[in-house]
Amino acid sequence: MKTLKIEELSKNFGSTEVLRKINLEIDEGNFLVLLGPSGCGKSTLLNIIAGLETINEGNVHIDDYNVSKVEPKDRNIAMVFQSYALYPSMNVRENMIFGLKQAKVSKEKIEEQLEKVSKFLQVDALLERKPSQLSGGQRQRVAIGRALVREPRIFLFDEPLSNLDAKLRVEMRREIKKLHQQLKTTVVYVTHDQTEAMSLGTNIAIMNHGVIQQNDTPENIYNKPSNTFVADFIGSPSMNLIKGNLKESSNKVSFVTHGSNIEIPINGYDFKENYNLDNKEVFFGIRPEHIFFKKSNEEDFEINLRADLSEYIGHEQIMTFNFENQEVLAKFPSTVKIDLSKNTKLFFDLTQISLFDAKTEERI
């Protein structure tokens, strides 16, 4: 039994297609992050799961029960909003029990739930305050509390941290992670921040133009991006995509860029399909953090590149190199001294590379 199952879901606003044939499943207790640039449809998808938006095609199942036409309040879900959406005229207590009162839960049960949750989230001292008298972090906690008291099957979070300042955001991120570890409730979490997605999710679904590009564990998303969009979206700075061709001779595959005599051997790469590789146009993907200034393992490929630009950011520096007139970025500790406009010896860690078909932009 899947806690949440979405089948062939499509959604249009007028003539604009917002979601296209979305399929998604979440197991009990998992933390799914919907990640993507703004306008990719992730918030719409969340609103559809909540029942706040209607569906054009497809179905949403919660616990194997088709809830596509069920009212939000009857879906056994709770939602935390970006603006917190605390009712301004009610104090914290009234805010937290509003839902239970609507559901006509008994007074004793309400008090019991309120006490349990407010203690757990450390807002028990704030119960009589109005939302306007709370700090950003406190509002966030109350908003989570309001969701928690209902003991929902699925928690929905809509960019809950993007209104907080950088420092508080990191703190609240840890708190949400702890919360999930303790409660083990199923979560669907929408964000455009890849660090949030990576650190919180047990699964990440990357979306673009209303389509899920890849739905996988954070490790696979990072190490084995399924297309160039994912490769480019995840990581900062993003993965270097070097254009060139594959060359196959006597069962040895190598990568060559146009007009260059440098051949990078591709050994032990896990090809999806192992035929027709010769002369294939590809992107050679390597992350900036997998380029080293000294040899890290036996598979490393040694190469001399000219350094063009250096960006110092404290704990590290981002160097831009020229590789046959294509930019290649590398990330080094800031203690390493590299001269600009001179050739520098670099090592590509070939165990960490990705290859993409230049036409379909899919991983090969």
Binding site for another protein (CB under 8 A): 47, 50-52, 71-73, 77-79, 81-83, 85, 87-89, 98-99, 102-103, 146, 158
CB of 50: closest distance to another protein in angstroms? 6
CB of 52: closest distance to another protein in angstroms? 5
CB of 248: closest distance to another protein in angstroms? 56
For residue 237, is the peptide bond before it cis, meaning its omega torsion is within 30 degrees of 0?
yes
Nearer CB in complex with another protein: 47/317: 47
Q: Residue 194 to residues 79, 205, 210, 213: CA-CA distances in angstroms?
A: 21, 11, 18, 15
Neighbours of 304 (CB within 10 A): 11
**Residue 3 contacts residue 26 (beta carbons within 8 Å):** yes
Nearer CB in complex with another protein: 55/85: 85
Nearer CB in complex with another protein: 81/120: 81
CB of 53: closest distance to another protein in angstroms? 10
**Residue 281 to residue 298: CA distance in whole angstroms:** 27
Four-point Cα dihedral 23, 44, 33, 30, nearest 10: -60
CB of 150: closest distance to another protein in angstroms? 8
Distance of CA 204 to the CA centre of its chain: 5
Distance of CA 169 to the CA centre of its chain: 16
In order, the DSSP letters of 290-327 are GEESS--STT-EEEEEEEEEEEE-SSEEEEEEEETTEE
Q: Which of 360, 354, 361 is nearest to 240 (CA)?
A: 354
Nearer CB in complex with another protein: 80/346: 80
Nearer CB in complex with another protein: 102/251: 102
CB of 351: closest distance to another protein in angstroms? 46
Nearer CB in complex with another protein: 146/247: 146
